[in-house]
Structures are given as structure tokens and as C-alpha cells.
């Protein structure tokens, strides 16, 4: 048992001994005086910011900063300026399916087409450059 615990036990014993020696009339007067003192005391003041608007302003600024930072991180990078020498003309793509709408419709309904698109062969064809 620590020194603080011994002191606490000793003070509790002294208090119990003192209360046991008081008369019931004295205890009643002490209790009435305590209740009167509590009733007459002013209500405890709410602790907090002296200026609540200061807390709202700080919170608002933090929210605006977070939104701006989030939008800045999501924004696409600015495009680099294109020089005229870097531009190239692209030839139009001619598809063999342009003249036959039935052929295009039948390819859309063919499940083998989708299997071929998922194959390694289709990926190598797609990676070839003209």
C-alpha cells in the first residue's frame, strides 16, 4: 500500500469518526446550509471560446483549403504547348465494314468476336503500328 493510499484511508477514518460524533440536529443544520449555499451560488459559466465566430471562421477556412487542395490534386495536368513542327497529319481510317451494315450487326452478335478480342493475338495486333 502506497503512502497516498494510507493517507487517504486515514482521512476517511477521521471523517467517519467526526460524523459519528455529531448530533442529528447539527447534521441537519449543516445539510440545510450546504443546500442553501448551492442554491445561492451563480450557475457555472459555460467554458469555451470567447468568440464563437472565431472557431467557425477557422473551421470554414480549413474546409475551403481542403476542397481547393482536393480539386487541385484531381485537376488534369496542364497541356504543354504544341509546336507546329510536332503536328502531323493523320490519314482517315477506312473500315472494310463501312458499306455493309448487316456484317457489322452480325459481328456484334457473334460471341466468338469477344473471345478473340480477349485473346493474346488481338492484343498483339492492337499493338502493331501502321
In a domain, 109, yes or no: yes
Query: What is the pLDDT at residue 111?
Result: 72
pLDDT of residue 98: 64
Question: Is 28 among the domain residues?
Answer: yes
Split into its structural domains, the chain has a count of 2
**Residue 63 within any structural domain of the chain:** no
Task: Please check whether residue 121 lies inside any domain of the structure.
Answer: yes
Q: Once rounded to an integer, what is the mean pLDDT over residues 95-106?
A: 65
Assess if residue 112 is contained within a domain. yes
Q: Is residue 17 part of a domain?
A: yes
* pTM (predicted TM-score): 0.29
Residues ≥6 apart with Cβ < 8 Å to 104:
97
6 assigned to some structural domain = no
- Name the more confident of 63 and 89: 63
Q: What is the pLDDT confidence band of residue 35, given thresholds at 50, 70 and 90?
A: very high
Domain interval for residue 25? 11-42
Amino acid at each position: 500500500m502506497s503512502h497516498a493510499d494510507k493517507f487517504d484511508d486515514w482521512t476517511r477514518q477521521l471523517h467517519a469518526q467526526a460524523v459519528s460524533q455529531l448530533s442529528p440536529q447539527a447534521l441537519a443544520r449543516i445539510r440545510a446550509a450546504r443546500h442553501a449555499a448551492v442554491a445561492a451560488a451563480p450557475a457555472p459559466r459555460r467554458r469555451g471560446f470567447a468568440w464563437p465566430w472565431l472557431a467557425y471562421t477557422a473551421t470554414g477556412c480549413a474546409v475551403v483549403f481542403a476542397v481547393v487542395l482536393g480539386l487541385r490534386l484531381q485537376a488534369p495536368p496542364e497541356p504543354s504547348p504544341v509546336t507546329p513542327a510536332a503536328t502531323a497529319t493523320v490519314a482517315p481510317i477506312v473500315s472494310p465494314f463501312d458499306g455493309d451494315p448487316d456484317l457489322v450487326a452480325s459481328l456484334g452478335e457473334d460471341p466468338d468476336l469477344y473471345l478473340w478480342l480477349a485473346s493474346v493475338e488481338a492484343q498483339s495486333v492492337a499493338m502493331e503500328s501502321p
